[in-house]
């Protein structure tokens, strides 16, 4: 039975071997890579990515990455392609074939059909001299010295290399397109990632209650306002402009220092010039302010007027934190 030490050693060796192989890929990037990127960028069609076995699984991930970064892509399994799915490929589409050896039977059948249709073809292969390498218009060299598998059989290092080349392709295209975080948000509207990119302060503050007192509001009413609005805070305003803030903490500190607070008003215990944020700012920006200053709430303004409150719990609930 293997010891924990030997298991850890095996894992580290796998990571080391794959890491070295990935670093070596940078030495294999040549004009074919740049030409392939420009081909896809200038194409009026989509990118069709195909493969067999583990390479097919890598192909689906590359398709997903391209689609999410502004390059329309479709997965086509190499085995299914020669049994009817070849109709997926349209006239202006660019085809990417992924194969470690470049000599699998399915690839040997599929490649001539793609060539006959006059579609441009990019190969991601570890064997430039293979059938696929010789037939492709451009080659992305995914050569690796050996698999991480001790028998040098199970696709491990080779599939990682394919994946990294796909990422390099996607990022190069993303940069050519000038694909921004706003563009990214259009393709990722759901989940925490999407919210970080599109959720604004107003989207949160507009559904919260709006605690507010004036400079002369007595402490009893301040306590009632904070309790009723359930945000642990109230803004102190004058002519609807923020002049201060009172938090639960301010009330506790007051109670520890003053025996008789019946004559106190908001201006006696408020903190002047509190942190605030414009309602059209991104919610992630509000989170950064809260974290930077170690506070739990931030007041929201619209054109210099008090507009509401964002609490750290709101941001946690939305998955921003």
Cα distances (Å, whole numbers) of residue 164 to 69, 168, 216: 16, 6, 64
Residues in binding site for Zn(2+): 77
Residues in binding site: 77
Rounded Cα–Cα distance for residues 177 and 184 (Å) = 12
- Contact in structure between 40 and 94 (CB atoms under 8 Å): yes
Sheet holding 271-272, edge to edge: 212-214, 233-238, 241-247, 271-272
- Contact in structure between 135 and 121 (CB atoms under 8 Å): yes
- Contact in structure between 157 and 17 (CB atoms under 8 Å): yes
Residues 6+ positions from 186 with CB-CB distance below 8 Å: none
Backbone angles phi, psi at 179, to 5 degrees: -70, 115
In eight-state DSSP terms, residue 3 is -
Structure-block tokens of residue 189 = 């509207």
């Amino acid at each position: 039975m293997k010891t924990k030490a030997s298991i850890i050693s095996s894992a580290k060796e796998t990571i080391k071997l794959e890491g070295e192989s990935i670093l070596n890929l940078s030495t294999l990037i040549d004009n074919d890579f740049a030409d392939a990127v420009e081909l896809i960028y200038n194409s009026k069609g989509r990118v069709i990515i195909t493969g067999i076995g583990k390479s097919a699984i890598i192909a689906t991930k590359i398709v997903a990455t391209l689609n999410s970064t502004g390059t329309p892509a479709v997965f086509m399994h190499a085995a299914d392609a020669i049994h009817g799915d070849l109709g997926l490929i349209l006239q202006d589409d660019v085809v990417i074939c992924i194969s470690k050896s470049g000599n699998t039977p399915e690839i040997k059948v599929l490649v001539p059909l793609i060539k006959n249709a006059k579609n441009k073809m990019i190969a991601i292969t570890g064997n430039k001299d293979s059938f696929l390498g010789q037939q492709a218009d451009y080659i992305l060299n995914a050569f690796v010295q050996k698999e991480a598998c001790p028998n040098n059989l199970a696709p491990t290092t080779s599939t990682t290399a394919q994946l990294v080349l796909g990422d390099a392709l996607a990022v190069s295209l993303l940069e050519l397109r000038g694909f921004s975080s706003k563009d990214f948000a259009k393709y990722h509207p759901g989940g925490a990632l999407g919210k970080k990119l599109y959720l604004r302060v107003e989207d949160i503050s507009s559904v919260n209650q709006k605690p507010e007192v004036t400079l002369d509001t007595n402490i009893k009413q301040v306590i009632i306002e904070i309790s009723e609005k359930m945000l642990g805070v109230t803004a102190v305003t004058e002519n609807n402009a923020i002049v201060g803030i009172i938090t639960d903490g301010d009330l506790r500190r007051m109670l520890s220092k003053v025996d008789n607070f019946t004559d106190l008003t908001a201006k006696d215990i408020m903190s002047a010039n509190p942190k605030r944020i414009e309602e059209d700012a991104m919610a992630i920006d509000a989170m950064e302010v809260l974290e930077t200053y170690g506070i739990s709430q931030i007041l929201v303004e619209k054109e210099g007027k008090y507009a509401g409150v964002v609490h750290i719990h709101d941001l946690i609930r939305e998955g921003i934190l």
